[in-house]
């Protein structure tokens, strides 16, 4: 059982490292006066419309991304509930 816990800890460490690396990726997209800056972890850093910062829109987009991620996670848990992990 200790080996399983050790393996899970290593897996979590790798996942945390991957998450940090994803957050370092930054993309900018501009379409017709609207510019969005987003990190690889799907966090919106900035929204500009015609050069004006749109803080409320940025907050709304981040909230929508988090909510969609939670809904997908719930669905995935349901879809994977049929799988059994050995030793767990």
Cα atoms in the 13 Å half-sphere on the side-chain side of 15:
6
Looking at residue 85, what is its pLDDT? 54
Looking at residue 50, what is its pLDDT? 95
Looking at residue 8, what is its pLDDT? 86
Instruction: Domain ranges for the chain, please list them.
Output: 2-80
Q: Mapped to the 3 state alphabet, what secondary structure does the chain carry?
A: CHHHHHHHHHHHHHHHHHHHHHHHCEEEEEECCEEEEEECCCCEEEEEECCEECHHHHHHHHHHHHHHHHHHHHHHHHHHCCCCCCCC
pLDDT one-digit tens code per residue, 2-50: 788 888 888 899 999 998 999 899 999 999 999 999 999 999 999 999 9
pTM, two decimal places: 0.70
Contact predicate 28/6, CB 8 Å: no
């Amino acid at each position: 059982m200790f080996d399983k816990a050790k393996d899970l800890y290593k897996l979590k460490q790798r996942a945390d490292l991957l998450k940090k690396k994803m957050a370092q990726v930054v993309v900018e997209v501009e379409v017709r006066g609207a510019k969005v800056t987003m990190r690889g972890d799907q966090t919106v850093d900035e929204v500009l419309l015609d050069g004006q910062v749109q803080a409320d829109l940025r907050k709304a987009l981040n909230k929508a991304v988090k909510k969609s991620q939670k809904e997908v996670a719930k669905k995935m848990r349901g879809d994977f509930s049929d799988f059994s992990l050995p030793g767990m």
